[in-house]
Amino acid sequence: MSEKTIKIQLPDGSVREVALGTTPYDIAMSISPRLAAAVVVARVRPLTPMAAAGTVAEGEEETSEAAMYAGPQAGSAAGERLVDLAAPLTEDIALELLKETDEAALKVVRHSAAHVMATAILELFPETKLGHGPATDQGFFYDVYRETPFSEADLAAIEQKMAEVVARDEKFVREEEPREKGLTDYSAQGEFMKVHFIEKFTKPGDEISLYRNGGFVDFCRGPHVPSTGRVKAFKVTSVAGAYWLGDEKNQQLQRVYGTAFYNAKDMEAHFKRLEEIKARDHRVLGKQLDLFSIQEVAGAGLIFWHPKGGLIRKTMEDWMRDECIRRGYEMVFTPHIMRRELWKISGHEGFYSQNMYPPMELDDAEYRLKPMNCPGHILIYKNSPKSYRDLPQRYAELGNVYRYERSGTMHGLLRVRGFTQDDAHIFCTPEQIEGEIAACVEFADEVLKAFGFAEFKVELSTWDPNDKKSYVGDERHWETAVSSLKKVLDAKGIPYREIPGEAAFYGPKIDIKLVDVLGRLWQLSTVQFDFNLPQRFELEYTGEDGEKHRPVMVHRALFGSVERFFGVLIEHYAGAFPMWLAPVQVGLVPISEKHLEYARSVKAKLEAQGLRVELDERNEKMNAKIREFTLKKVPFVLVMGDKEAATEAVSVRTRGKGDEGSVAMTEFIARAVGLVESRGVLL
RNA sequence: GCCGAUGUAGCUCAGCUGGUAGAGCAACUGAUUCGUAAUCAGUAGGUCAGCGGUUCAAAUCCGCUCAUCGGCUCCA
C-alpha cells in the first residue's frame, strides 16, 4: 500500500506524483517552507469525474442551513472543495494552496475564529451550551445558550480569553467517530443543539467529524486553519438575540458576533469602511441635511418630510408622473380609508389582516386604512363597462398606504409604517400580459438608470406548492403566471434567481434589487401577477366576440416605496445629490456686505432660470459661509467680490473639486442648467 | 413581538459611588467688512423621553410605558 502514489496537479499545470496520504501541507513544504507558513487552507478538485462524485457526496448537504452549520465549503459542480492542510490526500486531484491573501480562505479563518471564540466562552462560562458558529460576509458569529445574557464586560473578557487561546497556538485536529458516540456524549453534556444538528445533518451509521483544539471539541465539517495561532486579527463586536432554528416560537439564543482578518491592517480597513458606511447612513444624513424626521410624539415608522427632503421628493415624483403619462398610464387618486366590506371582497381581511390597522367605527360601518392601492384601482375599473378596445387600462397612483409593522422592525426610511407606493395596476387581456410585463421591466430598468444605479439583480418569487393555504388561485393559474413571467425574463436575456415560497398571496412576482455604490442590495421595484383580484371583484370586459371575459391584472411599483427609494438614494449619493435632485443647487457667498446687492441680482438671474439658489446674507466671513454650503453638500458655491461685480461674473467652487476661478454669469448659467436638464450625476 | 443597549439644550456630547445641570457648535445681539472649509465678544436656551416608586434629597436607584440603536423574526 505504501507503494501507492497519487497525482497532484498544481495551478501552473505541473503534475507531481506523491505517496498516497500526502497532505497539502507536505506539498507546500516541498515547494517552500515560506509558502507553507503562509498557506491557510487547500482547494482540491478530483481529476477523475468518478472520484469527484464519490468525494462530493460525502457529507455534502444542499440546504443553506447545513451549509451554514458546516461552515465554509466551496461545493461546486466541479466537485471543488476546501480541505485542511493536514488532510491526507487519497486520490488524483488538482490542488490549489490558498494563501493569506485569498478571499475564499478568509472565511475559513473566520470559521476557525468562531471556534476560538467558543473555546474562550466555554472556558469563561462553562455552563454555556453551543449552537452553531459559521463565518459570514462580515465576520462570524456563534449562537450559544446561557441563562444570563452576556454584558459588554463579558464580551471584552471573551475577546481577551480568545487572545490567550490564539497565543497557545493549539492545533486544529480533525477526528472522526461513530455518530452514535457523538450523540451519546453530547446528550450527556446537555448539548441539545449539537444533538439536534447531528441528527439533522448525519444519518445513522455515519462517521461524524469533530475538530479539536486543546481541550475544546466541536462537531464540525471543517475545514480549519492549521492552528489557533493563525487567527491573527480578530474582534468580538456585539451580541444579539437570535431564535433557535430561526423560529420565534423557540427559545432565544445569544448570538455573539465577531470578525477576523489575516492581519491588523485589514481589520482596521474593515472598521474604517464601517465608519464610512455609518457616515452615509440616511438617518444620519437626513438629520444633518435637514431632509426628514421621525417624531416620537407622532409615532414610530411615520415620516415627516422637511422642506429640503420634500423638494427632492417632489422632483422624484414629478419625474415619475411624467414618465408614467408618457408610457400610457393614467394618474388616479383613491381614498385612504375604505369600508371593511371592500377588504373582505379583496381578500386582504383574510390574507393580510395581520399587517393592517384594526378597523375604526364610523356611523355607518367599519372602515380600514388601506395597506395597498389595488382595490381602489379596481373600483375605478369596475365603475364602467370595459371593452377589449379599452385595454390595457393602466392606472397609476402615488398612493399612501399604512401597514402595521412590529415594533422592533422599523428602520429609518427603509422600514416604516406609513409610506407612498408609486403603484400602478394594469388591466389587460391574457394576450397582452407578456407585453405589459416586459414594458414594466423596461420601465423599472429606466427608473434605476435615471437615478444613477447601474446594476441590479432580479428575483422571481413563486409560490410554495406545499403551502397552498397561504395562496389563492389554483395550480393551473400559478403555472401560467409563472411561465409568462419567465418567458419575459428569458426573452430579455435577464438572469434571475427563482425563489419558491416568496410570492404574494395573490400571485408570483418579479423583484428587482438594485446594487448601490457600496455593492449593497436593496429591494425596491416589483412587478406582480394577479389572478386573484379580477376574480374576486368579478372584473370583466367585452371581447371581440361579444362575450364577457375576465381581464388579467399586473401590479407594479418601481420606486417601490418613495420613502425607501429616497433612503437608498441618500446612502447611494452619501447626501451629495446630483444637480437635478439637489434641494439647493447653488449657494451664493458675497465676500462682504458691500457685495450683497450684486449677490441679490445674481440670485434673481439664476432663479429666473429655474435654479434653486440660497444666498447667505449673514454677517459672517466668507470662509464660514463656504464651509457651511460645503457641509450641506451644495453642488456649486459662487463667491463674489469687487472683481465679479465689476464684470458680471461669479467665482465658481464646485463640490468635490474646489475653486475653479471666475467665469461669466452666462457661462455658469449654461453649465448649471445643462446639468439639471441632462440629470447628470457628475458636476 | 423577542434579546441586549441607549434616551441630558436645535445638534454632538460631559455629568464619579444620589446633594436639585455643563461644554462646543447652532440661534440671537453687538463689533468686525474680510478673496475660497469655522472672526471676536456678549445674550438667551433644559418638564434631564414620559409616568409612577424608593429617599430628607433622583438626570443618577427601582418599576412600567414610549422611542431609538444592534440583531432575530417579518417585509416595499
Q: How far is the CA of A313 from the C1' of B13 (A)?
A: 32
What percent of chain A shows pLDDT beyond 90? Answer: 77
Give pLDDT, residue A3.
67
- State which residues form the domain around A660: 586-678
Helix, strand or coil, per DSSP, at residue A216? strand
Name the pLDDT band for A58 (thresholds 50, 70, 90).
very low
CA torsion angle A336 A339 A340 A342 (round to 10): -90
Q: Is residue A284 part of a domain?
A: no
* CATH number reported for the structural domain that contains residue A30 in this entry: 3.10.20.30
* CATH number reported for the structural domain that contains residue A187 in this entry: 3.30.980.10
Name the pLDDT band for A78 (thresholds 50, 70, 90).
low
Q: Is residue A279 part of a domain?
A: no
Domain boundary among A60, A81, A99: A99
Per the CB < 8 A criterion, the answer to whether A120 and A130 are in contact is no
Q: Is residue A598 part of a domain?
A: yes
Give nucleotides in strand B with any atom < 7 A to a protein C-beta.
1-5, 7, 11-12, 26-28, 31-39, 49, 66-76
Calculate Rg over the CA atoms of chain A.
Answer: 31
Clarify whether residues A162 and A69 are in a common domain: no
Clarify whether residues A561 and A446 are in a common domain: yes
Per the CB < 8 A criterion, the answer to whether A372 and A348 are in contact is yes
Nucleotide nearest to A661 (CA to C1'): B36
* Mean pLDDT across A302-328: 97
Per the CB < 8 A criterion, the answer to whether A555 and A530 are in contact is yes
* Residues with Cβ within 8 Å of residue A443, at least 6 apart in sequence: A323, A327, A556, A558
Clarify whether residues A389 and A312 are in a common domain: yes
Q: Is residue A282 part of a domain?
A: no
Q: Which is more confidently placed, A216 or A471?
A: A216
Per the CB < 8 A criterion, the answer to whether A450 and A580 are in contact is no
Clarify whether residues A262 and A179 are in a common domain: yes
Clarify whether residues A117 and A265 are in a common domain: yes
Q: Is residue A579 part of a domain?
A: no
Q: Catalytic site residues of A?
A: 374, 403, 421, 423, 425, 509, 555
pLDDT digits (tens, 9 = 90+) for A515-553: 887 778 888 899 998 878 999 999 999 999 999 999 999
Per the CB < 8 A criterion, the answer to whether A412 and A283 are in contact is yes
Clarify whether residues A360 and A475 are in a common domain: yes
Clarify whether residues A208 and A337 are in a common domain: no
Q: How far is the CA of A621 from the C1' of B40 (A)?
A: 12
Residue A465 has pLDDT above 70, yes or no: yes
Total structural domains within chain A? 4
Clarify whether residues A169 and A191 are in a common domain: yes
Q: Is residue A580 part of a domain?
A: no
Q: Is residue A683 part of a domain?
A: no
Clarify whether residues A265 and A347 are in a common domain: no
pLDDT digits (tens, 9 = 90+) for A35-44: 999 999 999 9
Clarify whether residues A14 and A125 are in a common domain: no
Q: How far is the CA of A639 from the C1' of B31 (A)?
A: 24
Residue A313 has pLDDT above 60, yes or no: yes
Give pLDDT, residue A224.
95
Residue count (chain A): 683
Give pLDDT, residue A590.
95
* Residues with Cβ within 8 Å of residue A382, at least 6 apart in sequence: A537, A539
Q: How far is the CA of A204 from the C1' of B75 (A)?
A: 40
Per the CB < 8 A criterion, the answer to whether A541 and A391 are in contact is yes
Domain boundary among A211, A241, A273: A273
A69, A243, A604, A614 from A629: Cα distances, Å: 51, 47, 19, 9
Which residue has the least CA–C1' distance to nucleotide B73?
Answer: A248
* CATH number reported for the structural domain that contains residue A382 in this entry: 3.30.930.10
β-partners of residue A243 are: A252
Domain boundary among A273, A301, A332: A273
